[in-house]
Amino acid sequence: MDVDVAEAASGSPTSGDPGRTALVAPADSVGAMTQPMTAKAVPSPGGDDPVDGRRLRRDQNRRAALQALVELFAEGTYAPSMAEVAERAGLSPRSLFRYFDDVDDLRQAAIEHHLELAAPLVRLDVGPEAPTADKVARLVASRMALYETVRPAAHVVRINADRHAAFAEQLHSSRRFLRRQVQRLFAPELSGPRAALAPAVDVLCSFETYELLRVERGLSKPKTAAAVSTALLALLDDGR
């Protein structure tokens, strides 16, 4: 199941794997956006520093705009106008241009902000040496939680990938990371002649498969997880 996940800094799907989630840039480049917004005060003879206050208001307004856009994404509005975002955030459309160059800049920042929150869901607490059934269960649970969380942003990236190179590149690198994660996890099962099964396993674990089962087939989350798990076990389980 594919989502937009930046390439991990080091590669192992075992516990401690520093997998990082982002759509448009590596997670460490947007980590500050998910930290509490606190401005560093610089004392002044007259009391509160007005520069510090302006910085704090700017940070608060920027976060409000990002949160507003994330909410619109979640409601299925994937290309809102600056006016729509401003109204939801309680700001004036004109003020948004103080914080973002244009709607694409705002969209990119919102996706980074949203997906950074899902970073822990990329990690797997299981290694290649574990029984196949255990690995399948852990992977499916992880991907289901991940896709449920990042679904709005994943749609936005796919919608814009044909028009923006940055979105296209991030989508490519995300898929590459998730594909390699699966290949490492199931390396014992996909060795030798069974290596030909790797593309099918990758498709079963993709965001697109998740969407087809959840939306087109109307399956619940438990039934979607069961369908993917059953298919993976049919391909991979040879008694390990």
pLDDT in tens, 98-146: 888 887 788 778 777 777 777 788 889 899 999 999 999 999 999 999 9
Average pLDDT for 68-93: 85
Could you count the other beta carbons within 10 Å of the beta carbon of residue 130?
18
Average pLDDT for 49-58: 75
Percent of the residues in the chain that have a pLDDT greater than 70, as a whole number: 77
Is pLDDT above 90 for 221?
Answer: yes
pLDDT range class, residue 68, cuts 50, 70, 90 = confident
Percent of the residues in the chain that have a pLDDT greater than 90, as a whole number: 36
pLDDT of the residue at 205? 97
- Asked if 23 and 33 count as a contact pair (C-beta separation under 8 A), the reply is no
Q: Which of 46-60, 154-168, 221-235 has the highest mean pLDDT?
A: 221-235
pLDDT digit string, tens, across residues 207-220: 999 999 999 999 99
Distances, alpha carbon 113 to alpha carbons 13, 21, 106, 176, 229, in Å:
24, 10, 10, 21, 31
Say which DSSP state 42 is in. -
More confident residue, 195 or 26: 195
- Asked if 113 and 66 count as a contact pair (C-beta separation under 8 A), the reply is yes
pLDDT of the residue at 137? 97
Lowest mean pLDDT among 4-18, 23-37, 40-54, 150-164: 23-37
Average pLDDT for 6-20: 37
pLDDT range class, residue 36, cuts 50, 70, 90 = very low
Q: Which residues pair with 86 in a beta bridge?
A: none
